[in-house]
A and B are shown apart, each in its own frame.
Chain A
Amino acid sequence: MSFGQIPYDVAHLLGGAVLLLSFVLLYQRRINAVINAFATQGALLAAAALWQGWVQDATGLYLTALIAFAAKAVLIPLALRAVVRRFDLHRTVETALGIGPSMIAGVALVGLAIMVVLPVTAGARALAREDLALALSVVLLGMLMMITRRNAITQVVGLLSLENGLILAAVGVTGMPLVVELSTAALVLMVAIIAGIFAFEIRERFDSLDIGFLERHRGERR
């Protein structure tokens, strides 16, 4: 399987689209738009898993795709919207680093991911290694989003988007044991629930979801 063949090209296209959505997440200025972009990324991830399931003839991946779609494209975005409505958060996203510098840093991270992954995996199949480079880029962009956003909701979206990158990596490797993907999907739900509970707590205690307030409560400054 190489460039110019349909299975390879479509897998690449979907992986690339997931990465593109990571960039879209980086330049959103409104919380609702961030949630929409995250839901789209979840749907694309599900499509990527579905495609890999068909190409690799691995029925287990269909289940992964279903869970990814249900959790990341439907349930978590709905829950996040409910939090935004409940707390009346229709405001702009507070950034610690401007949009322009974030995008430049993002491009640099993608370059870094490609330069790290491609040379060392020269022996592996082309699809697996390029998928891995895409997945690592999504992981790094998720981290960048967590670093550059000051709001608890956008930080959690960054963490979940980072986990999208992990699932992308897992589905791209032929024969990855199903149990890993299944449990990852289940754990993502748990992570989201716990994060949601925290969001309520932080809001209740500090009357804001800006985690900058948390800094004042460092243990040593009491």
Chain B
Amino acid sequence: MPLPWVLVFFHWAGALLLAAIPQLRAAVLANLAVSAGGFLLALFLLGYPEGEQGWTRLDALNLPLILLAALVGLTTSAFSAATLHHEGFDHWRIRAYHTAFQGFMGAQALALLADNLGIMWVAIEIATLATVTMVAVHRTPEAIEAAWKFFILCGVGIALALFGTIVLYLAAQPLLHENGLSWAALRRVAAQCDPGVLNLAFVFLLVGYGTKAGLVPLHSWLPDAHAEGPTPISAVLSGLLLNAALHAVLRAKAVVGAHPATVAAGPFLMALGLASLLLAGFALWRRHDARRFFGWSSIEQMGLAAFAFGIGGAAANLAGLLQMAGHSLIKSAIFFGVGQAAQIKGSQKIADIGGLVASHPALGWGLALAIGGIAGLPPFLVFAAEFRLVTIAAEAVPALLLPLGLGLVVAVAALVTTLQALCFGDPTRDAAPRAASAAALAPLWLHLAVALWLGLAMPAPLAALLAEAARIVG
């Protein structure tokens, strides 16, 4: 079996194993062990030859994303192990939660690694169903409402993506005989396909996977889903699922873009990206719930990445990839911090969490740095991405610089306001006065350190890999 499949089935075997473990202590440790094993396997992929292996392929575009996903999966499992006892799960929920978590990890890895677009679709659908059950796990009215919305909206979105996949196959079918949904094969023959059919396929793929990536106007499931369920779910939803969906859009764009006569995909992506940025930037001002707030901030960040890919070209694509990576690392760090704060304060409303720096310095400063990082303040990775994006946009699409700048400024101002509310000022009352646990803080600080390291001194091999990935997107 090729190594990519080993990685996927390792997580899924772990999911089966975890379904059989009812004790909390044993389950969280087993979950951590499976995630650590997945991380090691992902590291082995670095030395694995690039190219197709049947239904999977490994190339410069998915390799950095899979490494990032394995890292975030590992740290999220560590955070989950340190905090899950506060959720008060019975043994059924412990089983369901861990099974869904590893099922999701395997599915999102498959979504990134798949060469066959049909397999990619199936993987994203499995990842969605797994996260829906995790969002609903508390079974409060709010959780049920959020999960139902997630289920129905993403059900429709994913159905449209399958329709797009079928149309894409229809376009290439006269030219391909076997393995007709292979991305590499589709890309090779795209230049001889009928451009009209390719356009039709792209519209459906963009709307379908765009729903999953949280792009406006199909974003409304995202803030609700991020606000419910145990906090580790928000971290993997933001850090992994959105990337897997945007990656699918990029693969579709690369196929359709290979034909010179198709409608340019760039303006569509730029329009959706800009709409996401502007709507989320203003919506951020009206949030009272911390986790919903950062859910909206994910819409804004995905919008920025989509805008960068819409401009196209190696430099802008690189900015988009850096944006995706930076967002994954820092946003999951924020959710680790917010989850920890919400457990201490007994509420996830912004008004109930305040003055963390004074009462819990390690947590407060970590969260403050992470929110600053996601707002694009230097020296973290998101700053590097947004700085590149703005300079490229000024050159390539000067007319759009004004709305882009407006969206960025509005969003940054909202983030800084919330940063001050959450971390500085007078401490609010603790529901359960205790220090933040070191085990739960370690993932937050580790993510900050990685984001800082990549933002200041990206290792040359990784930079070369990302540059090649930017060329693949086209």
Which positions 193-222 of chain A face chain B at CB distance < 8 Å? 194-195, 198, 201-202, 205-206, 211, 214-215, 217-220, 222
Q: What distance in Å separates the Cβ of A170 from its nearest Cβ neighbour in chain B?
A: 5
User: Are A121 and B166 interface neighbours, CB within 8 A?
Assistant: no
| Chain B residue nearest to A123 in the complex (CB) | B194
| Chain A residue nearest to B126 in the complex (CB) | A187
Q: Which residues of A contact B196 (CB under 8 A)?
A: 119-123
Q: Which residues of A contact B159 (CB under 8 A)?
A: 139, 159, 162-163, 166
User: Are B162 and A166 interface neighbours, CB within 8 A?
Assistant: yes
User: Are A214 and B173 interface neighbours, CB within 8 A?
Assistant: no
Considering only CB atoms and an 8 Å cut-off, how many residues of chain B contact the other chain? Answer: 52
Which listed residue, A163, A206, A220, touches B287 by the CB 8 Å rule?
A220
Q: What distance in Å separates the Cβ of B178 from its nearest Cβ neighbour in chain A?
A: 9
Which listed residue, B132, B166, B197, touches A170 by the CB 8 Å rule?
B166
Considering only CB atoms and an 8 Å cut-off, how many residues of chain A contact the other chain? Answer: 51
User: Are A218 and B145 interface neighbours, CB within 8 A?
Assistant: yes
**Contact A198 to B144, CB < 8 A, known contacts A121-B170, A175-B180, A177-B116:** yes
Binary B-proximity of A129-150 (CB < 8 A = 1, otherwise 0): 0001001100100010010000
A180 interface hit (Cβ, 8 Å): yes
Q: Pick out which of these stretches binds chain A: B3-11, B147-155, B411-419.
A: B147-155
User: Are B118 and A123 interface neighbours, CB within 8 A?
Assistant: no
Which listed residue, B122, B155, B228, touches A219 by the CB 8 Å rule?
B228
Tell me, in angstroms, the Cα distance from A117 to B194 when the chains sit together.
13
Which positions 183-210 of chain B face chain A at CB distance < 8 Å? 194, 196-197, 199-200
B119 interface hit (Cβ, 8 Å): yes
| Chain B residue nearest to A121 in the complex (CB) | B197
**Contact A214 to B197, CB < 8 A, known contacts A124-B170, A201-B139, A219-B227:** no
Q: Which residues of B contact A215 (CB under 8 A)?
A: 145
Q: Which residues of A contact B197 (CB under 8 A)?
A: 120-121, 123-124
Tell me, in angstroms, the Cα distance from A176 to B176 when the chains sit together.
11
Q: Which residues of A contact B199 (CB under 8 A)?
A: 120
Q: Which label, helix, strand, loop or mixed, suits the secondary structure of the A interface?
A: helix
A183 interface hit (Cβ, 8 Å): yes
Q: Which residues of A contact B289 (CB under 8 A)?
A: 219-220, 222
Tell which of A177, A198, A218 has the most Cβ of chain B within 10 Å: A177
When A and B form their complex, which 9 residue pairs have the shortest distance between CB atoms, in order from nearest? A120-B196, A180-B118, A217-B141, A214-B145, A123-B194, A183-B122, A217-B145, A219-B227, A169-B166
Known: A170-B162, A202-B148, A220-B287. 17 other contacts (CB 8 A): A120-B196, A123-B197, A124-B197, A132-B170, A143-B156, A146-B152, A170-B166, A175-B180, A177-B179, A180-B122, A180-B165, A183-B118, A187-B122, A198-B151, A214-B149, A220-B288, A220-B292
Binding site for B on A (CB under 8 A): 116-117, 119-124, 128, 132, 135-136, 139, 143, 146, 152, 155, 159, 162-163, 165-166, 169-170, 173-177, 179-180, 183-184, 187, 190-191, 194-195, 198, 201-202, 205-206, 211, 214-215, 217-220, 222
Binding site for A on B (CB under 8 A): 116, 118-119, 121-122, 125-126, 129, 132-133, 136, 139, 141-142, 144-149, 151-152, 155-156, 159-160, 162-163, 165-167, 169-171, 173, 177, 179-181, 194, 196-197, 199-200, 223-224, 227-228, 287-289, 292
Q: What are 21 A-B pairs with beta-carbon distances under 8 A?
A: A124-B171, A124-B194, A124-B197, A143-B156, A146-B152, A152-B148, A159-B155, A159-B156, A162-B159, A166-B159, A174-B173, A176-B169, A177-B179, A180-B118, A187-B126, A194-B129, A198-B144, A198-B151, A201-B136, A214-B145, A219-B224
